[in-house]
Structure 1
Amino acid sequence: MANLQHLTTEYQNRMNAVFKYIDTHLNTALTLEVVAEIAIYSPYHFHRIFKVITGEPLTVYINRRRLEKAAADLMHKPDIAITELALQYGFSSNSSFTRAFKKFYGVSPSTFRVELPGKFSKIRQPKSKNGQPNFLFERYLWSIQELKNWIDMNAHITTVELPELQIAYVTAIGHTKVKEAYQQLIHWATPRELMQQPETKMITVYHDSFKVTDPDKVRISAGIKVPKNTKTEGAVATTTLPANKYIKGCFTITLAEFEKAWSSLFIWMNEKGYKKADANPFEIYHNDFRTHPEQKCIVDLYIPIQKAI
């Protein structure tokens, strides 16, 4: 297994294809054989590599993704039926989905929907004596009104239509791995003179929400904007962020204020009656915070939203 750890860069691009496939086929039978074929590996070889990269066996990862996606839908899609969610994410029945959800989050889907949106966060859930999360309904770190006041003073918010954005990226599994992912990306981009281009922007894409996913399992893309048809290699891959309508929040904030900024922006979205689209939120950075006199980031936060019918 130790030898595999030195080869994760070689395997990462195939794993990126696997992550995308799983996310778009959660309602199907995602067997080891089917997913291994996407990675172009034998099931035995793929199983070992996948566990090294993600820290989880394939079946555990798939089950977690199904439950987390369902939890996100419960927060952002108040009209969707729980029975529909069960079928959408590959569960054989409403009862099997409810049992799995309650085991994972500590509450039923219906309770989660009613009591937890806006309050629930995997970041700050305390542990019980047996090491499992203790899902008591904790008090907000900031009240909703405080967050609304804070965003009024610290952000300029608009809705914008963005064209497709082509990015080169390195995948990070867990929030502590983002710095390493950016180092890999910059090491690749610098000799290609991509970092010197004025249109180059660093972009962080969040495939998971910290409200429903443990921080050490959140999948994040550390990326930069690149021209179309840019060729990549090793752990660096390319993807396209879709053309869409977005809520755009412009901030000048410290690193410690990012969670507050995201929470506030989602509250603003709900207050204004917008609904989140299925695409991923992301950040675009406009400076190196280390050169800012107050160590602040000049950053735009984007939440994809559904267009009015």
Structure 2
Amino acid sequence: MANEPSAAHRQRHAQRMNALLDHIDRHLDQTLELSSLAERMHFSPFHFHRVFAAWMGETLGDYLRHRRLDVSALMLAQPEPRSVLEVALTVGFGSSEAFARAFKLRFGQTPSAWRLDSPQRWARELAHSREQQALRHRPPQALLSNLDQTERNLDQADATCAEEDTGSCFTSESQMHISLQQLPPTRVAYLRHIGPYGQRVHKFWMNTVLPWRQAQGLEQRACYGIGHDDPSLAAPEQCRYDACVEVDADFIARSPASIQDLPGGRYAVAQFRGSLADFSHAWTELLRGWLPSSGMQIDGRPVFEHYPPGADYDPTTGIFSCELCLPVKAS
């Protein structure tokens, strides 16, 4: 019993910090002074500075800087014809010069060079992901006989994967079953995980989210997973993931849950069936393979996975099903 107040305090603190991070994301084009954010959190500036650094592992100034630059890097990689100055102003920099200096310090190249290199960079990421996927699905004897090869025939890898008939291979665009759909807005309650994606998120779902969902009587409701950060840009320990459950409009979220609304609109929806090891590759195929050749671009709405009620999950094999939902608009 003595631990309950402490646990409840940590949960309320987590809610407040999550709300602050969401507020920052919605207002990156504004000044976001420490004093005003501290007032929003009902802390003195001195204490807020320490609390934020303890929670995120970096100062508020460092967090704002890398968050703005990460968002700008995603914007610059899109085919939308925005100038570097427009991107700089959108993420809160006062001039293209200051933006270019900060961008080069973080990514090692200028914003213009990053934009020009994006198609090649995406192609490299896709090729590496396909190579790793081929290795995972190659028979052990073939794997041992090819360890010394640095270049692999991806077409052969696709054929090998298709022959397995496991439903978990995503080495070519044609196997992803992508459709454009108009999705409705959805109100969700969510719990947030901050840290590396992958296995830790899976454990978060199993050990924290599903027991909470059951206790709230929401077992038959659809679930969603929102990855707020691009793991190719953000540090693993700073990646934010929201595990969400659909709720009614009058649902009252109590600690540790919070409420948000998933915006509706046009999405590219890819059907996924596979293991956790296949999951990252499927997203890479969608973002780095399908998207550049689709004539569309991603917009500012959240990217998420959708788990319909009764979605398949085999605890023995780890195979599960969901939909990968990418918000898109015409280029």
- The answer to whether TM tops 0.5 is yes
Q: 2:297·2:329 contact (CA, 8 Å) conserved in 1?
A: yes
Superposed, 1:2-151 pairs within 5 Å as 7-117=9-119, 119=121, 140-142=127-129, 150-151=171-172
Report the Cα distance in structure 1 between the residues aligned to 2:71 and 2:105, rounded to whole angstroms: 15
Corresponding residue SS for 2:268? strand
Q: 1:154·1:252 contact (CA, 8 Å) conserved in 2?
A: no
* 1:126-178 alpha-carbon deviations (Å, 9 max, x no partner): xxxxxxxxxxx889414697699824453211000011111111112222553
Number of residue equivalences: 285
Residue in 1 that maps onto 2:264: 243
Cα distance, 1:228–1:192 mapped onto 2, change above 3 Å: same
- CA apart distance, 1:202: 2.4
Moved more, 254-263 or 241-250: 254-263
Q: 1:170·1:181 contact (CA, 8 Å) conserved in 2?
A: no
- CA apart distance, 1:55: 1.6
Residue in 2 that maps onto 1:160: 181
Q: 1:245·1:304 contact (CA, 8 Å) conserved in 2?
A: yes
Q: 2:126·2:285 contact (CA, 8 Å) conserved in 1?
A: no
Aligned partner letter, 1:65: R
Taking structure 1 as the reference length, the TM-score comes to 0.83
Q: 1:8·1:53 contact (CA, 8 Å) conserved in 2?
A: no
Q: Residue 260 of structure 1 is aligned with which of 260, 281, 288?
A: 281
Q: 2:126·2:284 contact (CA, 8 Å) conserved in 1?
A: no
* 1:270-291 alpha-carbon deviations (Å, 9 max, x no partner): 2110111110100013535343
Give 5+ residue unaligned stretches, structure 2: 1-5, 132-153, 159-169
Alignment of 1:178 with 2:201, yes or no, is yes
Cα distance, 1:289–1:26 mapped onto 2, change above 3 Å: same
Q: 2:295·2:330 contact (CA, 8 Å) conserved in 1?
A: no
Give 5+ residue unaligned stretches, structure 1: 122-136
Report the Cα distance in structure 1 between the residues aligned to 2:26 and 2:119, rounded to whole angstroms: 24
* 1:44-98 alpha-carbon deviations (Å, 9 max, x no partner): 3322332232222111111111000100101124411111111222222211111
Structure with bigger gyration radius:
2
Corresponding residue SS for 2:128? coil
Corresponding residue SS for 1:289? coil
Q: 2:181·2:266 contact (CA, 8 Å) conserved in 1?
A: yes
Taking structure 2 as the reference length, the TM-score comes to 0.78
Aligned partner letter, 2:106: F
Corresponding residue SS for 1:216? helix
Report the Cα distance in structure 1 between the residues aligned to 2:302 and 2:126, rounded to whole angstroms: 27
Residue in 1 that maps onto 2:229: 208
